[in-house]
Structure formats: structure tokens, C-alpha cells
A = this chain, B = another copy of it.
Amino acid sequence: MTAPIGELADVLPGGSVLVDPDLLATYRYDSARDPRAGTPTAVVRATCTSDVQQVLKWASEHGVPVVPRGAGSSLSGGASGINGGVTLSLERMRDITVDPVNRVAVVGPGAITADVKSAAAEHGLWYPPDPSSVEMSSIGGNAATNAGGLCCVKYGVTSDYVLGMEVVLADGTALRLGGPRLKDVAGLALLKLFVGSEGTLGVITELTLRLLPRPAGAATLVASFSSLDAAVQAVVGLTARVRPSMLELMDRVSINAVEDMTRMGLDRAAEALLMVRTDTPGESAVEEIALIHEVCGRHGASEIYTSTDPDEGEALLAARRAALPALETLGSLLIDDVGVPVPALPSLVRRIQATAARHDVLIAVVAHAGDGNVHPVIVYPSGDCDAEARARRAFGDIMGAAIELGGTITGEHGVGRLKAPWLADQVGRDVITATARIKDALDPCGILNPGVILETGDRSPDPGS
């Protein structure tokens, strides 16, 4: 980078601009560990909106790529570094203010999502989105990727809770969008456009989030099925009648990995384990769980356990929570994220099984089954470059399978840099063109997170291809 980073250091608060190579190296990768990640020439750790504006103005003037970064927990390379670029970290902007009368939280983008949830809970309120990364991901990253989680099946995704935003455009203009209003259709839905734009249209500097009253409790059911098709039939059947607050599926590979580690007595022959929760108040949870029990039974579940006791309910979910730790004992993980219409889930899982065989890797499936959102977890021996290359080919093939089944290459992790080469296959060239037009309209110099969502074609060859 020939652009004068010193100019930026002069105008920002002391300590904002990092150029120490050891520090820069820590901002190279995000949780996707993209082998093509570059190393930023500088990292700016913004303290306020004005800092962000100065960085973007400077970057626009000098044509420097800027990678906005929250906690760096992206699983699709949305926050990985660019050689010659500046990584703009929002980790120091983490204020959280809860307004219990308006039932909103006003938060800095660097606040950890779990901290937002805790702050709301102190007022008896609830911020629903619960990505698995909740303890480490930033709320700005959640908004930038429109993060989901387990409760989406009933409560929706991050976009459904973003009422307002301050966002800085590439030219340094700070826009205020929305506010603590539950209904507002004044003008284009820019707020909804910036959510999920993965840092390619602007940098979020503040969020106003909708909070709900906390649900009373939950009843939990776990059912095992000897047939994947029967399990998905049960999902279709029960979601036609009730709205579970969680509806997860584990396949046989996941079940066995967990059983290997925990010896909790799971049925190793089962093709699918369903975990269902309902959080309707009082006795109605008992009635709903009975109905879900009946539906699972009718679809041939071999074992069904239910509980309305909170601790027992948690115990019933232990297998789901143990899935990733159990798989981590087997090797390195590449966590994919695709989605299909719910009835296509069995076909997708069979395609994933074939992909595993073809590339000689282990692939376990955990899924937010109620949403059709599937996380194939590709396991390969740590440090085995050939196996990693096969794993990355499987990662791509799974996206291809999802597209062929009328699905999506990403349900909740985002496109990032890792999945950008597949986007056109899913959405088509005309949608890519429309996307590029909007990108150009808001970021004419293309400085904001280049290579994310839309490919730039200037990356080094994928070592996995």
C-alpha cells in the first residue's frame, strides 16, 4: 500500500492504528480460516462514528480496500484480511444501553451478542437471535450477516430485530435509518438492505434492536427415527399445526460422534434425532408437546422423551450441544451452511452422504430442520493438506447440491469471500447485475469489503480447487 497511513494515524485517537506485523497477523483470518486470506497493511480500531467516517473518507481518497470486522467469527471469510487493505475493527465500540420503556437496546457494533442478550435480560426483556457463536460474535457482525440461530424457526432472524441503524457509507457520510418505531414504511427499506450486506455497502456504527418480553418457559422433546424421511415428515406435520421455538435435527454421523464421546446412550442405529422445543405459556406448552409427541409417534419415532422441567429439558438437548465438541475430537472442521425447502431435507442429506464418500471425508449433519437450514460439518485430519483440499471440494459440492434442490448456498453464515464463487449459480446473472448496480451506486470506488458477495477476480487461486 502506497497510501499514507500516517495521515490516518495523525487524525485518529492514539493507539487506533496498528501496523505492528505481529498484531496485523492476528487480523488476517476469521473463523473461516480462508487459505486465500491476505494480511492487512494496517488495522484501525475505531472508537466512535467519527473515526469510521475518517477512515472511509481517507480510504475513498486513496482507493484503499477496507474490511470491516467485528469479532472475526465469520465462517464464510467475510472479515478475512486483504493484502494492501485496511481492516477496520469495531471491537472497541461496544456500548449497550437498554431502554425498557421503548423496549429497545441501542448498541455499538462491537458489543458481543451474548452481552446484548444479558443486558436485555436484566430488564426482564429478551433479544431473541441466538447464533451458535452468540458468546463470541459481535452484534454488528450479526447484523452485517443477518445472523440466525436456533430460535429463528419461531422468532425470525437478526433483520427482524433491527429497528434502527447508523451506518457510514464509503464516502464517509453517516446515515441514520429507522429508529425505535415498530412500524415505519417511509421510503425505501434501506435499513433492511444494509442488514445482511456483509460490509459491502457501509459500516454499521450503531444499532437499535427490538426486544421482546421473555417467554415464560419451555417444554422439550427428543425423538429418534430409524428413517430420515420419517423424521422430516414429522417436521412437516408438526409445523403445520404448532410453532416450535426450536426444531433441530442430527444425522447418524453426528449421533455416533456424540455417543462415542459421551456414552449417553443414544440410539446408534437411528438415522435422525429430532429435538423440539415449544415456549407457549403455562399448560399450553404441555398440550403442544403432547401434540408433537403424537405427530412423532405417528411418523414412526422409535424413542421419544419429553420434559417440561427446565433442567431436564437442558439435559435432553445435551446431544445437540455436544455435537461440535464431539466432532472436534475427530479432526479439523469445516462448517458449511446451506438451506433447502424443508421437504427436500432428506434428499440434501443423502447428497451430503454421497459427497462425503466421493471425497473421502467425514461429514456430520446438524440442522435447524424447521427452517431447512443445514450445517454439514466436514471433518478432516488436522494438518493433512490433501484432506483439507478434499474437504474444501466437498464444501463446494454441498452448495451445488443445495442449489440443485432449490435451496441456498447460505442460510445464515453469509456469502463472504468463501462462497462468492457460487452465488451466481444460485441467484442467476441478472440478480448479480442488479446487485452490482446497487453496490456501485453506494460504493462507486469499490473500497468496501471487496470480494465479499460479489467476486472481484483478483484473488490467488483457491488451493482447494
A residues lining the B interface (CB < 8 Å): 100-103, 124-125, 145-146, 148, 152-153, 156-157, 159-160, 169, 173-177, 179-190, 192-193, 195-197, 200-201, 212-213, 236, 239-243, 280-284, 287-288, 339-343, 368, 370-373, 406-415, 419, 423, 426-428, 430-435, 437-442, 453
Q: Chain B residue with minimal CB distance to A278?
A: B281
Report the minimal beta-carbon distance from A241 to chain B, rounded to whole angstroms: 5
Q: Which of B169, B239, B419, B453 lies in contact with A103, CB distance below 8 A?
A: B239
A184, B423: Cα distance in complex, Å: 12
Give me 9 other A-B pairs in contact (C-beta within 8 A), A187-B432, A188-B193 excluded: A103-B240, A169-B434, A181-B339, A182-B370, A185-B413, A188-B438, A189-B195, A281-B287, A282-B287
Find out whether the CB atom of A186 lies under 8 angstroms from the CB atom of B283.
no
A145, B156: Cα distance in complex, Å: 21
Report B-chain residues with C-beta under 8 Å of the C-beta of A408: 181, 183-186
Q: A186-B426, A438-B438 are in contact. Are A102 and B342 (CB under 8 A)?
A: yes
Find out whether the CB atom of A153 lies under 8 angstroms from the CB atom of B182.
yes
Find out whether the CB atom of B152 lies under 8 angstroms from the CB atom of A434.
no
Q: A146-B185, A181-B339, A187-B431 are in contact. Are A213 and B197 (CB under 8 A)?
A: no
Find out whether the CB atom of A341 lies under 8 angstroms from the CB atom of B102.
yes
Find out whether the CB atom of A179 lies under 8 angstroms from the CB atom of B406.
yes
Find out whether the CB atom of A441 lies under 8 angstroms from the CB atom of B437.
yes
Q: A189-B146, A434-B175 are in contact. Are A160 and B169 (CB under 8 A)?
A: no
Report B-chain residues with C-beta under 8 Å of the C-beta of A212: 243
Report B-chain residues with C-beta under 8 Å of the C-beta of A236: 101
Report B-chain residues with C-beta under 8 Å of the C-beta of A433: 173
A370, B182: Cα distance in complex, Å: 9
Report B-chain residues with C-beta under 8 Å of the C-beta of A410: 184-186
Q: Chain B residue with minimal CB distance to A201?
A: B188
